[in-house]
Structure 1
Amino acid sequence: MIVRKLQDAEKTDRKIVSEGWDSTRLCLKSDNMGFSFHITTIFRGAELPLHYQNHLESVYCVSGEGSIEDLATGEIHEITPGVIYLLDKHDKHILRATQEMKMACVFNPPLNGKEVHDASGAYPLDADEVSGK
């Protein structure tokens, strides 16, 4: 059994800070659960063009307000507490925060922990996933 406290993890290298967001990774690939789980804060005013080409993601809004724009359709969905969105087709999107948003995120395949978005808005696969091991 693995038990972690968010407040403790935020004080370790499990907390990654980048432009417009930070993410505390509570469950990672090394935990052997088949997914990773993060609590991510999207800062007020952030506009993040993202395209998870290598991962599927589900995101549940815990607090705050914003929107997600589906770049394939142009459709914009409001994000408020209680809303979940699932990027089941590696959807290219823009996430915008009108207020600071606290999000619970699940990634498959799981992240190793240090990933930040590359120029395309994706997280890279690690060497084992690229080679198929």
Structure 2
Amino acid sequence: MIVRQLDEVPCVEWGNGLSRRFLVADDGMGYTVTDTLVSAGTKSLLEYKNHFEACYCISGRGEVIDTAGNSTLVTPGTLYALDRNDAHWLIAHPEEDLRLICVFSPALRGDERHSLGDDAASHY
């Protein structure tokens, strides 16, 4: 059995926030679980070419926008899943951090960080 507390897990600065990585590839579960903070007022162009990702919002407000321009409000209780390795914008409300519980499949190594830029999506 694996039991971890938030203050015990590695914290990775991913570019526009923090990712606390509860499970990673070395744990042998086949998926990663993170507690992710997206800093208030940030806008991140992201794309996971090697991983599927599902995110469940537990606090804050934000927006996820696909490359076709479809926008979804993200508030507590909202889950969005990137089931086609979708490039997307993740935007946190200007006045509060967005907190997400995220699951990645296959598992992350654990040390990945985004390389954020204005023109191209950051990739894992």
Do Structure 1 and Structure 2 share a fold, with TM-score over 0.5?
yes
Question: Is residue 111 from structure 1 mapped to residue 108 from structure 2 by the alignment?
Answer: yes
Partner of 2:98: 101
Deviations 1:23-44 (A, max 9, x none): 0100010111010110000000
Runs of 4+ in 1 over 6 A off after TM superposition: none
Partner of 1:86: 81
Q: Which one has the largest radius of gyration?
A: 1
Q: TM-score normalised to the size of structure 2? A: 0.91
Structure 2 counterparts to residues 1-133 of structure 1, below 5 A: 1-9=1-9, 14-71=10-67, 73-98=68-93, 99-118=96-115, 120-123=121-124
CA RMSD across the alignment: 1.1
Shift of 1:54: 1.1
Q: Distance in 2 between matches of 1:111 and 1:94?
A: 20
Q: Distance in 1 between matches of 2:44 and 2:52?
A: 17
Q: Distance in 1 between matches of 2:106 and 2:91?
A: 24
| Secondary structure of 1:30's aligned partner | helix
Partner of 1:131: none
Give the number of the structure whose residues are more often helix, by fraction. Answer: 1
Instruction: Quote the sequence identity (%).
Output: 36
Q: Distance in 2 between matches of 1:45 and 1:118?
A: 18
Question: Unaligned regions of 5+ residues in structure 1, if any?
Answer: 124-133
